[in-house]
Amino acid sequence: MGRKPATEEDLILNHIEDNRTRLGWSRQELADRVGVHYQTMGYLERGEYSPSLVLALRLAQALGVTIEQLFSLKEETNHESKE
């Protein structure tokens, strides 16, 4: 499935739930489409686990978004230049 983030810095922001609900799908429906247990979807949506690369790609494809639209690192939310 992935790994549990060790620290706050390891957290990956995701928009799985937003995109899933936009499509009107339950966790079970999305889980079935990507081949995981529905409880895994809850862990992923809450950020308790980070998905493997394969699962992240499956999720993005199933939801019809790019992987960049689905996941981001916290520090990427601040686009300050480092000069």
Q: What is the pLDDT of residues 12-32, one digit of tens each?
A: 899 999 999 999 999 999 999
| 16 in Cβ contact with 59 (< 8 Å) | yes
Neighbours of 40 (CB within 10 A): 19
What is the residue extent of each domain of the chain?
2-74
Q: What is the pLDDT of residues 37-74, one digit of tens each?
A: 999 999 999 999 889 999 999 999 999 999 999 999 87
For residue 12, what pLDDT is reported?
Answer: 80
Question: Which residue in 16, 9, 22, 14 sits closest to 36, CA to CA?
Answer: 16
CA 83 vs. chain centroid, Å, equals 31
Asked: is 2-74 a CATH 1.10.10.60 domain? The reply is no
For residue 82, what pLDDT is reported?
Answer: 39
Question: Which residue in 40, 45, 69 sits closest to 57, CA to CA?
Answer: 69
Q: Which comes out higher in pLDDT, residue 10 or 45?
A: 45
